[in-house]
Structures are given as structure tokens and as C-alpha cells.
Amino acid sequence: MDCLSHRAGEQDMNIKRAKEEIKDTIEAYLLKDENGEYVIPSIRQRPVLLIGPPGVGKTQIMEQISRECRVGLISYTITHHTRQSAVGLPFIEKKMYGDREYAVTEYTMSEIVASIYNRMEETGLKEGILFIDEINCVSETLAPTMLQFLQCKTFGSHKIPEGWIIAAAGNPPEYNKSVREFDVVTLDRIKRIDVEPDLAVWKEYAYAENIHPAIISYLNIKGQNFCQIETTVDGKLFATPRAWEDLSQLILVYESLDKRADRDVISQYIQHPRIAKDFANYLELYYKYQNEYQVDEILQGTIREALCDRVARAPFDERLSVTCLILSKLTEGFKKLWDKNAFMELLMEQLKSYRQEMAGRAETSAIPDKSEAPAMVLASLAQELEEERFRRKKSGLSGRREDRLWLSVRIMLEEYAQQMRKEAVEDREQAWEWVRTKFMEHSDCYEAMKEDCGSRLEHAFDFMEAAFGNGQEMVIFVTELNTSEACVRFLDEYECERYYQYNKDLLFDEQEQAIRQKL
């Protein structure tokens, strides 16, 4: 019985490590030999089973994995299905056995299996992931089907296509009373990964996904409230990573509408009264600090001595909030710079294709027709880019950020084509110099943005030093710079001496203290 519940003494993975493990598994399962056959045959490709608390990100990482591995994804929440939709509907078929005819029950194709073939036809992706969520919460009538699915990779009589890897997710029994424990026979046929919430890993994701800075700074102070699920006489009380992310989206939209999320609104997401009340109070203070500490002025180089003295004497949560406000503004600038760089890289690819296309047409056509005019060629490339963007979006290979990037480049190409027509740019060499000049304008803009980001970072260090010296706030400041991918990318290009010095001195001291505590 011990092996059916959470295994004592086992080390759970955080969601980032689990994602890496699943990607490695997919790479191994899809590896083919010289004959084009899978090195690990389908019968030995164990389904991956993720077990972890609700809202920890199990479903979300599957979408990321499918995009990064360039494979298809079919996702089902199995509790929404009946046995008929999973297995198929019965019908009577006449069959001959020996010299006698018999009425035999057959089944239509499973809706789930059919959706895989539909996705393959729509996207051209012959390999992918079939993801079944809440697999251990199925109804009694569907439970045997799920066991058969995990053991034999079939729904009823319909086999999952070769090249499609099975992944599933479920909650431990302490979080869901509907959970059905798998028997040893089933568990011995799966690749089980237990995941746990990890605030440090989630913060990396939070910075990348524009989670509201008030939530990040609050959880820096009250990390124990990141993922809390309690059973009381009044029912389940919980705050989950998913709830914090969804609440963040609402707060950001509310702010754009000049509205404020109060305690009643927050409790609709953070369904733990104590935590909801605590965060509501913190959010009010956060807005207060936002008004009183003019962070934009600080980052522009206006550092008032009175303000530094005030924050230095303030309570810890206020000092941390101000630190997080500065980090938020810096990160916002770093991300815009990162997006600008990605835009320029994709635009450069398209302009290189444009030059090659123009050169190819020049070699094959002595007298160009209207379709070969520079503006028409550029418009044609924009249309091809839009078709590829649509294909990637439909197949799930393009996330929201990437889709916006492709859209912005397509719009820019169309604008270039329109401007070319207006300026009557007809000569091929002249057209190339024209687009090259336009691209250099983006390059100059990028360099100006980079210089501004560097200046703002230096002013941030000026303020942090004046207010906190090399205290705990500076440690947090440098640590959070290391957490955001946009910050790390910027610091790879920009030489900030104080960042490297504090990173070396303060974080080394922190590590040394941690080691001493362990000893």
C-alpha cells in the first residue's frame, strides 16, 4: 500500500526540473535508428505521470514542452468525458466465423484517438504528446479504461498512433477526495514524476510572464502563502500558483481601467480568507508606496537624500516593496529591449530572404514585370510570413509572445511595401539600400534603448547604495536581477561593475552563511 501513495523519502521535483525531465524523455522516445524505427519501441515507452498539487503548473508546462520540442499536443481533462466519448459508441457488425455469420459488437473510433489523427492532418505534425489531465479522478465506469490506456496505450480497441507520447497528470489524494489510487501493475508501467511548488522557480516564470510586481514582492515577504491548501471544518481553503497568476492578470487589467482590486475581488481568486485579507492590505500599501516613492524619477537620476533616509528607517516590508518597485521598472525596460532584439532578428531574416529573392529574379528575368517590383516582392514576403504565423499558431508551435513578434514583423514589412510605393522605389539596388537604411534605424533605436537601460540600472544602484548600503535589501536586489531572464540577458551585454561586485561579495557571503548553518 505504501507504493500507491506519495512515496516516503522520495525527493520531489520542482516544475522546472520536471519540465526538463519530460523534454529529455520525449527526445529519447522519439529517437530513431538508421532504419527509421524508434530506438525505444512503443511498448517500452512508459507514459509520463505527473503527480502534484493543483495549480502548480502541470498543464502549462505541457504546452511549453510541445512548442519547444516542435511536436503536436492534444490535451484532455478526462473528468469531462464519459466512457462512450473515450472508448467510442457500440454498433453491431456482421462477421463470418467458420461457415456461420455472427452479430459482433464493434465500436466507433474514440473521440480522443480521432482528435490525434485530426491534429496530424491539420498541422502535418506526425509526432506529439497526448496529455490527459486529472487521470486519477475518473468515474467508476471509466476507471478500467484509464488503466487499460496507461498499460496498453489504447482507448477501447483503438491504439494511440506511433510517435505520440502519453503524458498524464493528477493530484495526490490529500488534495482531491475523488482520487483513485493506481494499483502496482499500473504503476509499474508508467514513468512517475512527483512535483512540488517552488517559489524561486515560479519567480523566474513570473518575471517572464509579467506577473504583477505587487504579487512578486508580497510573496518575497510571505513565501509561505505561495501555495497553501488546508482542509477545515468550513471546507477547503487554498491559494495556488495558478490563482496568483490569474489574479495578476485581473489586477493589471483593472489598473488599465483605473480600477482597484479590493479584498472582495482578491478573495474570488485567493480562496483562503486570511491570505486574501493579508494580500489586500499589502496591495493598498504597495499603491501607496508607488505614489510616494517616485521610482521613475529615481531611475532618471533624481535621488533625494530625504527620501533615502525615510526608506532606510521604514519597516522591512516597505523597504522590500520599494526594492521590488525598482526591480519591476528595470525589468520592464529589459524586456522591451529583449523584445526589440527579437524583432530585429526576425526582421533581418526576412530582409535577407528579400534580397535573395530580388537577386534570384534579377538573374531569371531581364525585363521585370509588376509582380517583380520591389514593393510587390516585399508584400509577398509579408503574406508568406502571415501564412506561416497562422500555421504555427494553429499547430500550437507558437506561444503568445512569439505570435505577437511575428505579427509585428509582418506589419512592418507591409508598411515598408506601402512606403516604397509612395516613394516610387523601383530599382532593385536602390530598394535594398532603402530597406537597409530602415533596418539601421531600428538598430540605432536598439542601441539607444540599451544605453537608457544601462543608465537606469546605474541610477538604481546609486539609490540602493544611498538608502541601504550593502544590507539585506541589496542582496535581494542583486538576487532578483539574477532571477529575471530579461535581466540576465541584458547583463550579458552590458558591463555593470557594481552588479558583478555585489553579485560576487554579497551572494558569496549568503552562501557561506547558509553552509555554516547547515554544518
pLDDT of residue 428: 82
* Residue 519 pLDDT > 50: no
* Residue 509 pLDDT > 60: no
Sign, CA dihedral 225-227-229-230, equals negative
Instruction: Match 521590488 to its residue by C-alpha cell.
Output: 324
**How many percent of the chain have pLDDT more than 70?**
92
3 state DSSP class of 298 = helix
pLDDT of residue 138: 76
- Rg of the chain over Cα atoms, rounded to whole angstroms, equals 28
Q: Model pTM? A: 0.82
**Cell numbers that stand for 183 in this block:** 494499483
d(CA 163, CA 36): 12
Residues 343-352 have pLDDT tens digits of: 999 999 999 9
pLDDT of residue 371: 47
Residues 254-272 have pLDDT tens digits of: 999 999 999 999 999 999 9
**Strand bridging mode 128-133 / 154-155:** unpaired
Total residues belonging to the chain? 519
Residues 230-247 have pLDDT tens digits of: 888 878 899 999 999 999
**How many percent of the chain have pLDDT more than 90?**
55
d(CA 170, CA 181): 10
pLDDT of residue 451: 95
Instruction: Match 498543464 to its residue by C-alpha cell.
Output: 59
* Residue 372 pLDDT > 90: no
d(CA 414, CA 99): 71
173-192: average pLDDT: 80
d(CA 137, CA 143): 8
pLDDT of residue 272: 95
* Residue 363 pLDDT > 80: no
Instruction: Note the maximum CA span of the chain.
Output: 101
pLDDT of residue 365: 56
Helices and strands per DSSP (H, E), number in the chain = 20, 11
- 454 vs 360: which has the higher pLDDT: 454
3 state DSSP class of 505 = helix
3 state DSSP class of 216 = helix
pLDDT of residue 424: 87
d(CA 463, CA 306): 12
Residues 95-110 have pLDDT tens digits of: 888 888 888 877 778 8
- Please report which confidence band the pLDDT of residue 511 belongs to, taking 50, 70 and 90 as the band edges: low
CA 381 vs CA 85, 93, 124, 354, 360: distances in Å: 43, 53, 22, 7, 14
* Residue 448 pLDDT > 90: yes
- Please report which confidence band the pLDDT of residue 364 belongs to, taking 50, 70 and 90 as the band edges: low
**Nearest Cα to Cα of residue 298 among 329, 255, 332:** 329
Phi then psi dihedrals of residue 12, to 5 deg: -70, 155
Tell me which DSSP letter residue 192 carries.
Answer: E
Given a contact cutoff of 8 angstroms between Cβ atoms, the answer to whether 174 and 136 are in contact is no
pLDDT of residue 4: 37
**Nearest Cα to Cα of residue 79 among 23, 140, 27, 22:** 140
Report the mean per-residue pLDDT for the chain: 87
d(CA 250, CA 265): 9
213-229: average pLDDT: 92
* Residue 38 pLDDT > 90: yes
Stretch (H or E) spanning 169: strand 164-170
Stretch (H or E) spanning 194: strand 191-194
**Cell numbers that stand for 506 in this block:** 554579497
What dihedral angle (degrees, nearest 10) is formed by the CA atoms of 162, 396, 487, 241?
A: -90
pLDDT of residue 329: 92
Sign, CA dihedral 254-255-259-263, equals positive
Give the range among 109-118, 272-281, 399-408 with minimum mean pLDDT: 109-118
d(CA 134, CA 295): 45
